[in-house]
Each structure stands twice: as structure tokens, then as C-alpha cells.
Amino acid sequence: MTIQTSPEATRQRSMLGSILLAFVAIQIVLLARKLYQIRQLRALERLYGCKKLSDESDNFRYDIFGIVKAIKLASHFRQRTSLQYTNSLFQRYGETYASNVLGRRLIFTCSAENIKHMLSTAFVDFDSSPLRKPLFEPITPHGIFTLDGTDWKRSRGQIRSRLSNLRNIIDLELCETHFQAFVQHIPPNGQVFDVQRCTSALALDMQTRFSLGESVDALSFTQSQEKKQFVDDIEVVKERIVRDGFRGPLRHLVSKRAFHQSCGRARKYVMAHAKREIEKRSSSIEKTEDGGAGTDFNKSEEIALFADQAMSIVLANDSMSTTLSGLLYCLSQDDRIVKKLRASIIDTIGLTPPAWNQLGMLHYVRWVLQEALRVFPAAVFNARVANKHSTMPSGGGADGQSPVLVRKGDIVVFSTWARHRLGKDFGADPEKFYPERWEHLSSDISGFVPFNKGPRICPGRKLSSLGPMVNMSTNDPAEQYSMIVLTYIVTRMFQTFSTVSNYNTKEWIERISLTFENENGVLVGLS
Ligand code: HEM
């Protein structure tokens, strides 16, 4: 007996067969890819002599999906104990160890060798944008923080050229105006005030004047409502970006309404300034070119670019504030250093505000600032994602001295805080604020990373520390912005005041925003 099959059933059977075949083919391709990757990894392992990296599996045995670890990280961030927590893990597992966070491998490191390798030697193997883009996109969609590769290179070049004529962009008279506005907030006779709030406002005023062409007047007693709103919005944005960074994918569970509102308002504010600045520039080009014939740049693109750059600089701004408030916190606990600092300034340049060519002579100011950057680095954590299989030079094997494998997609979190405080690079008592340690140390040592290292090093750095600042006019100017501004402000502060009283009754509690602050404020008196 023959069974008749309808053409429809035959068609369905052959379709099923094709789907099955395609499925098997896909599985074979995936398997082949996996095997190829495993072979690649093994070859890399053999080539570099990689050994096993210590991990937290003893602590999170049943946390297969890394959920408990993710919750633990988020809760330490909320309780403001992230630094203490990660330092304790470095002490337990060594300078480099791995964790599983929501199914992803996170490698934590505070090894100077690994940090240098990732930021310099193997720079092209590690990206920033996969982590930062989703966080920064609403506020600065094409800003330098969200870019890698050629786009980053272009943006970096633009910021660098913007910082290239420091004599034009840093007006010491304007620095003095901002310093005087700061002094207005210091109560008389050494009475208590929160210097952290004031240094934050001071840094914001100086940075917005530089990046937007107009200060936000955060130190002014008559700040406009519009500027006040901008300052508040930037605070909301920075706080949320960092919080979300710690939350990882869990961030999608929390409403972003207020964040988006703040981003919208802050961008509008910056765009208006960008438009004004670009129009000012193009009208001066038109004047010099007799009517502007031949100027072919796209104005709206220029405006968007200017706004993204300006916003990136505003977001990078607080680093100077962290350095200053951290410094005053330390000085309030050590009268010897305050006396020595003031005497060194007066002996070198007297009581008149420093001139451009005198800034490089203030060596003790430089040590004091380097020490503040070491003890209170503005960026306590930073991270990169491996864009291909790679390695790091240490962390493997029982003694942690062998190279380790880094797989494509692994996130490497490095802790500047731990490096500066646990490392042996800085001599005795690394937890102690002791500027004299810089007498015999070079700021180029690989463990000192307040500005990071390598091609992505902070373009506004070169604070007093980084190399002798003997001749400001010949050193690379793009590297000296922070150096000049901070040296000027600290010098003026200790030409004006001779004591720093300590009113802090509580311990320093971390507040990690885009930079780093004390949750309790920094309560001092200056007289
Ligand atoms: C004490 C002062 C400062 C400190 C400690 C500091 C520190 C840093 C650090 C740690 C980074 C991160 C680099 C990375 O993720 O690889 C950075 C990036 C950056 N900083 Fe600074 N910074 C300071 C001042 C400034 C100033 C004054 C400006 C602008 C005038 C500035 C502009 C930038 C920019 C644009 C980036 C992004 C660089 C890039 O991604 O290529 N910084 N800074």
C-alpha cells in the first residue's frame, strides 16, 4: 500500500529539513569558532607563560551568575565603603584577582606593572567606550569620554590644540579674580567652613570660563538662576553616571527621568554658549577675511563639537577641586607642613602674587600637590574592556608574579587609590601625607597614576609634579594646565593665610562621583 503525501506536507518536511540543516551548520560554525578561540588562547598562554589568576570563587562558590557579587559591589558603593572593600580584597587575593559579576569576568588590579601595561604598552588592546558610552551618551554623545580608536584620536587632537597656547588661555589676573571670590567665602578669625564646597565652586568657575567662555559664577553671591540650575544639573548628571557605572546592568532597574531632565537642561545651556562662541569666532574670521568668502566650515557641526568638548572639560573639572580639598584636609592635620609651605613660598617669591615665570620655582608647593594627588587621587577607580584576547604581565601563579590571560570582553578595573596606598613605590607609611617623600622620588614612577599613563593620559595634567617646571614656556604646554592653575591657587592661599585649623570630627567617608570627595565635607578654618 502506498501512502500518498500531499505537496503541502512535502514542502513542510523539506522546510523543516532545511531549518534543521541550517541549525546544525550554525552550531558547527559556532563550535569551530569556539575551538579556534580556545586554540588562540592556549597559544597566547604558552607564548607569554601565563598562569592561573587568583579569583573570588572561594567566597562566592554558589554565585554562578555573579548576582551576589553584583549586589555586594552596589551595596558597598551605597554604604560608601567601596575603597575599604576593594583594598581588603587586594590584601586577601593579591594585587590582581578576578571576580564574576553578572556572568562577566571582572579583573581587579592595583599592580603598577599591569596598570602601565594596559594604559601604555597594550593600549590598543583595551577600550573605554563600551563602558562609558552608555553612561555619558545622554550628556555628551560625541565627547572624548565616549570615544575610542580614530574618533578618539581626532577628539584628543582637538582638545590638545585647544590647550596649546596656555599663555592665551590662562590669564593669571583672572585666576586672581577667582581666588579673591573664593576668599570671600572664608569666615574671619579661622572660623569653620566647608572648604570642599568652595574648592568645587572655584574649580567650576575657572573651568567654565575656560571651556564655555563664561564662568558659571558658582562663588558669586548673586549667581543667576540659570547658572545655578546648570551647576545643580551637572551635579545630578555626575552622580548618576558613577552610580550607574557601579550598578552595571542593574542600572536599567532604576528610573532615569531626573537624569535625562538634567542632561537636557545642561546640554541646552552648553549649546547656547557654544553657539555664541562659534559665532563670535566666525565673525572675527569674516572680519579678517574681508566678508568671509571661502569660509566653508559647517557651523552647526562646529557648535556640536564645541559643546561636546566643553561638556567633557566641565565633567573632568572636579579633579582640581579634589586635589585642593584633599590637600587642605591633610594640611589641617599637620601644622609643620603648613608652616614649611608658607615659609617656602615667602622665601622664594615674597607676598606678591606669583608671575608666570615664578611658578616653576616653587618646589615645596610641587611636592605638596604631588602628595595630595597621591593620597587623594581624583579618579580612585578606572576601567577598560579588552577588545581582543590579550595578557597582563603579572597576577598569575601562586606568587602572583607570572603573566595572566585577559579574554576578549573581560573588564579590567584598576584602583589608583589602592596603588597609591598599598604599593611599596612611595617609601615608608604610604597612608601618611608626607610631601618630603618626593625629594627622592620621581613623579614618573609607574605606580604614581593620578592622571593615568599612556596615550590617554589626562590632557590637562602636568601639575607641578610631572617633571621640573623650570621653564614653562618650553615644556609641552598642553600638559601644564592643572600645574599652573593649582600652583597659583595654593601659592596665593598660603601667601594669604598662615594656619589651617581642623574642625573635622568624623573620619573621611568616600563619596565617589566623577571624582572623589569626603561625604562629611572638609571642615577647616583659615587665618
Ligand atoms: C588635578 C587635576 C586633574 C586630575 C587629577 C585629572 C585626572 C584625570 C584622569 C585620571 C583622567 C582619566 C584618563 C583615562 O580615563 O584614561 C583624565 C582625563 C581627562 N582629563 Fe583630567 N585631570 C585633571 C585636570 C584636568 C583639567 C584641568 C582638564 C581640562 C582642562 C582635564 C581634562 C581631561 C580630559 C579632556 C580627559 C579625557 C582624556 C581622554 O579620554 O583622552 N583634566 N583626567
Please list the residues that pair with 105 across neighbouring strands: 100
Nearest-CA neighbor of 420 among 390, 467, 393, 382?
A: 382
C-alpha cell read off for 61: 562558590
Q: How far apart are CA 87 and CA 220, in angstroms?
A: 40
CB atoms within 10 A of CB 423: 18
pTM for this structure?
A: 0.88
C-alpha cell read off for 436: 618630603
The reported pLDDT for the residue numbered 462 is 54
Residues of the chain with CATH 1.10.630.10: 151-282+297-377+456-526
C-alpha cell read off for 269: 545651556
CA of 510 to the centre of ligand 1 (A): 20
Instruction: Report CA-CA distances (Å) from 496 to 183, 301, 350, 367, 396.
Output: 9, 46, 11, 20, 52
The reported pLDDT for the residue numbered 293 is 45
CA of 155 to the centre of ligand 1 (A): 14
For ligand 1, pick from 160, 458, 479, 489 the residue to mutate: most ligand atoms within 8 Å of CB.
458
The reported pLDDT for the residue numbered 466 is 34
The reported pLDDT for the residue numbered 51 is 96
CA of 451 to the centre of ligand 1 (A): 6
Q: How far apart are CA 450 and CA 414, in angstroms?
A: 12
- Counting atoms of ligand 1 from 1, which one is nearest the CA of 322? 1
In contact, 383 and 411? CB cutoff 8 Å: yes
CA of 459 to the centre of ligand 1 (A): 6
Is CATH 3.90.180.10 what the domain over 47-139+379-449 is classified as, yes or no?
Answer: no
CB neighbour list of residue 13: distance below 8 Å, 6 or more residues apart: none
CA of 284 to the centre of ligand 1 (A): 31
H helices present in 256-334, as ranges? 257-288, 299-316, 318-331
- Counting atoms of ligand 1 from 1, which one is nearest the CA of 144? 40
CB atoms within 10 A of CB 323: 27
CB atoms within 10 A of CB 228: 14
The reported pLDDT for the residue numbered 473 is 38
Residues of the chain with CATH 3.30.43.20: 47-139+379-449
Query: What SS3 state is found at 526?
Result: strand
Query: Can you list the positions of beta strands (E) in 3-102?
Result: 96-101
Q: How far apart are CA 321 and CA 517, in angstroms?
A: 9
- Counting atoms of ligand 1 from 1, which one is nearest the CA of 323? 1
Length of the chain: 527
CA of 157 to the centre of ligand 1 (A): 14
The reported pLDDT for the residue numbered 298 is 78
DSSP string, 239-276: HHHHHHHHHGGGGGGS--HHHHHHHHHHHHHHHHHHHH
| Ligand 1 shell residues, CB under 6 Å | 144-145, 156, 159, 312-313, 316, 319-320, 323, 373, 378-379, 382, 450-452, 456, 458-461, 463, 481-482
Q: How far apart are CA 208 and CA 309, in angstroms?
A: 12
Alpha-carbon 427 to chain mean position: 26
DSSP string, 380-397: SEEEEEESS-EEEEEEES
CA of 311 to the centre of ligand 1 (A): 13
The reported pLDDT for the residue numbered 247 is 79
For ligand 1, pick from 145, 148, 319, 484 the residue to mutate: most ligand atoms within 8 Å of CB.
319
Q: How far apart are CA 309 and CA 55, in angstroms?
A: 39
Alpha-carbon 106 to chain mean position: 19
Q: Name the closest-CA residue to atom 42, ligand 1.
A: 460
Burial, 391: exposed, middle or buried (Cβ in 10 Å; 0-12, 13-18, 19+)? buried
The reported pLDDT for the residue numbered 321 is 92
Q: Name the closest-CA residue to atom 3, ligand 1.
A: 319
Q: Name the closest-CA residue to atom 39, ligand 1.
A: 456
Just give the CATH number of 151-282+297-377+456-526: 1.10.630.10
Encode the chain (527 residues) as per-residue pLDDT tens digits: 556 678 888 888 888 888 888 888 888 888 888 888 888 888 888 999 999 999 998 888 888 889 999 889 989 988 999 999 999 999 999 999 999 998 999 999 999 999 999 999 999 999 999 999 999 999 998 889 899 999 999 889 888 877 766 666 678 999 999 999 999 999 999 999 999 999 999 999 998 988 888 999 999 999 999 999 999 999 999 889 988 887 777 788 888 999 999 999 999 999 999 998 888 877 766 665 554 444 555 788 888 888 998 998 888 777 899 999 999 999 999 999 999 999 999 999 999 999 988 988 999 999 999 999 999 999 999 999 999 999 999 999 999 999 999 999 999 999 999 999 987 899 999 999 999 999 999 888 889 999 999 999 988 875 333 333 434 433 444 347 787 899 999 999 999 999 999 999 999 999 987 778 999 999 999 99
